[in-house]
Amino acid sequence: MKQKLVMVGNGMAGIRTIEEIIEREPDMFEITVIGEEPYPNYNRIMLSNILQKKMTVEETILNDYDWYKEQGITLINDDKVEIINKEEKFVETKKGIKVEYDKLIIATGSTAFMLPIDGVKLDGVIGWRTIKDTEYIIEQAKTHRKAVVIGGGLLGLECARGLIDQGMEVTVVHLGEWLMDMQLDRKAGEMLKADLEKQGMKFKLQGNTQEILGKDRVEAIRLSDGTVIETDLVVMAVGIRPVTKQARAAGLEIGRGIVVDDYMMTSDPDVYAVGECCEHNSKVYGLVAPLYEQGKVLADHITGRETDGYHGSTTFTSLKVSGCDLFSAGKIYEGENIRGIEVFNGVDNVYKKVFVENSKVVGAVLYGDTEEGNRFYNMMKKNDDIEEFTLVSLLHKSGEVDAISVESMSDDETICGCNGISKGQIVQAVHEKGLTTVAEVTQHTKAGGSCGKCKGQIADLLVHTLGDKFSAGGPTGICGCTDLSRDQIVTQIRAKGLKTSKEVRHVLGFNNLGGCPKCRPAINYYLNMCWPHEHEDEKESRYANERYHANIQNDGTFSVIPQMKGGVTNPDQLIRLGEVAKKYNVPLVKVTGSQRIGLYGIKKEDLPKVWADLGMRSASAYGKKTRSVKSCVGKEFCRFGTQYTTKLGIRLESTFEYIDTPHKFKMGVSGCPRSCVESGVKDFGVIGVENGFQIFIGGNGGTEVKAATLLTTVPTEDDVIKLCGAMMQYYRETGIYGERTAPWLERLGFEQVKEVLLDDAKQQELYDRLMEANKARQEEPWKAIIESDQELKKFEVERV
């Protein structure tokens, strides 16, 4: 017979605990959930997005009513538990509903703390915790213009930004010397204030609110220094208070919250508490990640699984305000044994400070660039020693110190801090369940389902795991970050003179101002194409393979493919390749499909040393750009050959090497119609015939083979070069990033492309534009650039 499990509370912590219990033992309990609000379980973290007009109430729902039915859960909502009788083991609601239990979990959460001052009961004074509060604020903003937010912490600032978006004039009154003083140090707090002031927010720091003025409705507030600030609305965001009234009345032990042990058990062995209402080791947590960790422990314990219990959490914070990227975790103060390492980049307005104790990272504050937040958070959780790390790095060239990437993360590192989901868990789910979108990953693993800050990394991980099978899942735009199409973005880049990816995303109003793995490289490409001389290539927007000049393999090692134009090599190169392969114990040396020699199974940390020892340039084998040209030996050696194809292949590769294109651009040169290099399935294929060279375009190999279409026959190598350049530039200017030439040709129409390319004047113009762009975009792949041990160390260390 099933045990009766009652959950008091229908919020994020409580329902996550229920989900964890069902996942472990779906048939163990008969479950009843009682919630005070007239909604199913929703994401309270996203209330700021409703206020900031980014989401609707419906979009915040985490588990709809159907979910409760599917799980066999009895939901009683829009009602409140008023009595907990632990002797007779039942609860009773305000509406008189009585529910018996064998096990009871209290997850009543918290309420907004209201300052005990005169005027707090006036109309227009509110705390902000629920959908109802949010809807009230939105209604007030329709008829009132001035607002005061008391509290310059995380919640207060998100509310203030939302009030501005609702059209109100907002002043934030904060008791501290700087904003978010519990999560940020002074420098980061001051940077945050400056950025928010640019958005129209006003501040009164070290402001102690003494009184709220008004008759029936708020009219102003008075501070302790006598300052009076007129306002129509006051929102209190000065902290939270655990809801413990019912537990206290039931005789449970109460401190600041409901006191629990390491297994979330209260002073009654059949009653548990989880979330903001409970107190563990004298701490009460108000962030979602610790609450979910508590829920997992409770689920293990109550279903009889072995668990080490809950031992507290390392917390982190991020702000959901556009244009203000910040991350804070752990201890953010300097003391007797805690020292700080800080870097401030005034050019890009980026500040980073890491706090270290006994060679361990114990805290971090990041402002302006939060990409490394997860890395520092993982280092804190894993207690990593940093003795071998370089503490400060300044003015290294792009690529000399590796960018943080999901490829280099170990499987046990956390991707979603809110839900405690690791890289390995996501990759396992992707493979086992066939997931291809961020939304599917969130649905099956919960990663990205709380604050949403990790969705970019989840998308990066999908790109790394799936390659072209990854689906952005966006609406009509180039990705889920925007509804704008490729043509609209390129038009606006040119019309508005946008020169950086950040400018594009901000000026064009992207939903995700940080971009995603679909749009970041795409916008970087469009900027390179539009402004070849003015735009500085953004290496951080490149895929990892392009940054490393090596292809990552399924075991995490890399393949290195040196350049051999036309597949031609010499004894010295072969000797060097052999020596390097022996020196680094390369597991596999193989002739590639593009007639090069590849070294497979190289460790990431050995890549720069391998390139240094080879002394060769990298083949164009990694990115969305012109690839190595495949050719046969042609007339020079082959008895069937009609043209000298090796020489032409080398010329094509030398002329167009490393040029960026919307997708990889492959070329092949065959010496006769036997087409030994499969010219008929290349993006640009050349077949030698008696009277010259047949030109084929739009062929693609791969999972979906598309045969190329015969464009024309030209008499000379010069004609081949010019036509290839014109076709490449036309593809560059009209192609959608990530679109191969076969679908591009189908989209534009073969006759349209043919008309443009075979028009002598247009052909020359396209070729000239490509050659002009090529002057500004010469690739500098890793080669023999490490000349000393000091330079080598720049590659070998990861920055702290």
Strand 338-345 relative to strand 326-330: parallel, antiparallel, unpaired? unpaired
- Per-residue burial over 646-664, b if 16 or more Cβ lie within 10 Å, else e, is bbbbbbbbebbbbbbbbbb
Q: Which residues contact 618 (CB under 8 A, 6 or more apart)?
A: 549, 560, 561, 562, 563, 611, 781, 782, 783
The C-alpha atoms of residue 628 and residue 598 are separated, in whole angstroms, by 13
Predicted local confidence at residue 468, as pLDDT: 60
Q: What is the DSSP letter of 517?
A: T
Predicted local confidence at residue 536, as pLDDT: 82
* CB neighbour class for 709 (10 Å; exposed up to 12, middle 13-18, buried from 19): middle
Which residue(s) pair with 148 in the sheet? 171, 234
The C-alpha atoms of residue 640 and residue 673 are separated, in whole angstroms, by 9
* Residue of 724, 745, 725 whose CA lies nearest to 736: 745
Handedness of CA 526, 649, 628, 561 (dihedral sign): negative
Which residue(s) pair with 90 in the sheet? 85, 100
Q: What are the tokens at 162? A: 């939302």
* Residue of 34, 30, 29 whose CA lies nearest to 14: 34
* Residue of 21, 38, 51 whose CA lies nearest to 149: 51
Q: What are the tokens at 210? A: 């003494």
Q: Are 120 and 114 in contact (CB under 8 A)?
A: yes
Q: Which residues contact 571 (CB under 8 A, 6 or more apart)?
A: none
Q: Domain 3-110+242-302 adopts which CATH fold?
A: FAD/NAD(P)-binding domain (3.50.50)
Q: Same CATH topology for 3-110+242-302 and 626-776?
A: no
The C-alpha atoms of residue 764 and residue 757 are separated, in whole angstroms, by 9
Going from N- to C-terminal start, the domains of the chain cover: 3-110+242-302, 125-238, 472-542, 626-776
pTM above 0.75, yes or no: no
Q: Which residues contact 427 (CB under 8 A, 6 or more apart)?
A: 411, 461, 465
Q: For residue 547, give the amino acid letter.
A: R
Handedness of CA 504, 508, 512, 513 (dihedral sign): positive
Q: CA-CA distances (angstroms) from residue 177 to 152, 357, 367, 646?
A: 10, 26, 18, 71
CB atoms within 10 A of CB 703: 7
Predicted local confidence at residue 413, as pLDDT: 83
Predicted local confidence at residue 390, as pLDDT: 64
Q: For residue 457, give the amino acid letter.
A: Q
Residue whose token pair is 């919960």 = 446
Residue whose token pair is 């031992």 = 311
Which residue(s) pair with 581 in the sheet? none
Residues of the chain whose pLDDT is less than 50? 398-403, 474-475, 778-800
Q: Does domain 125-238 have CATH number 3.50.50.60?
A: yes
Q: For residue 210, give the amino acid letter.
A: Q
Q: Domain 626-776 adopts which CATH fold?
A: Sulfite Reductase Hemoprotein; domain 1 (3.30.413)
Predicted local confidence at residue 475, as pLDDT: 43
* Residue of 365, 514, 408 whose CA lies nearest to 452: 514
**H or E, element range at 693:** strand 692-697
- Per-residue burial over 176-207, b if 16 or more Cβ lie within 10 Å, else e, is bebbbbebbbeebbbbbbebbeeeebebbbeb
End-to-end CA distance of the chain: 55
Helix ranges, 615-749 (H): 645-656, 717-734, 741-748
Predicted local confidence at residue 799, as pLDDT: 27
